[in-house]
Amino acid sequence: MSYLYNLFSSIDSGDIVISTFKPNKIEKYPIAEIAKAEKRMLELAPKQNVYFGVAPMQPGKRGRGKNADALAMPMFMIDCDIKSTEANVHSKNELLFESLEGFHLMRCRDCLLS
């Protein structure tokens, strides 16, 4: 089984949204075509960064979709950037934490439940 299959197989309907930014392109695949979506992501990945939406969207919606277009939320994802010692990795490198400890991730559970 694949990552996308494990994530979306329990959801009956909706579109998986795949996107790239250079060039700016959006592709959508019905949940029933998880294997096709995954194959396409693997085709694009050697040439560019490929992203997918964690929330399947209502079919027929334009773009990446809005919050109201989401049909399910099978996972919650956090992208945490930390300060880099290499030049030009982050445009605002000086504003970033030195390590993940600065995010206080251990307290995240309490924040979500309150």
Q: Is there a single domain that holds both residue 23 and residue 50?
A: yes
Q: Is there a single domain that holds both residue 10 and residue 44?
A: yes
Residue predicted with more confidence, 50 or 106: 50
- Tens of pLDDT, residues 41-65: 999 999 998 999 989 999 988 888 8
Q: Is there a single domain that holds both residue 104 and residue 59?
A: no
Q: Is there a single domain that holds both residue 62 and residue 21?
A: yes
CA nearest 64: which of 73, 51, 75?
51
- Tens of pLDDT, residues 92-105: 888 887 877 766 65
Question: What does pLDDT average to over the chain?
Answer: 83
- Which backbone phi and psi does 15 adopt, to 5 degrees? -110, 135
Whole-prediction pTM value?
Answer: 0.69
- Span between the terminal Cα atoms of the chain, in Å: 35
Is residue 57 within 8 Å of residue 69, measured between CB atoms? yes
> What would you report as the CA-atom Rg of the chain, rounded to the nearest whole angstrom?
17
Is residue 26 within 8 Å of residue 18, measured between CB atoms? yes
Total structural domains within the chain:
2
State both tokens at 53: 């939406």
C-alpha span between 16 and 19 (Å, rounded): 10
Domain that holds residue 87: 78-114
Q: Is there a single domain that holds both residue 44 and residue 58?
A: yes
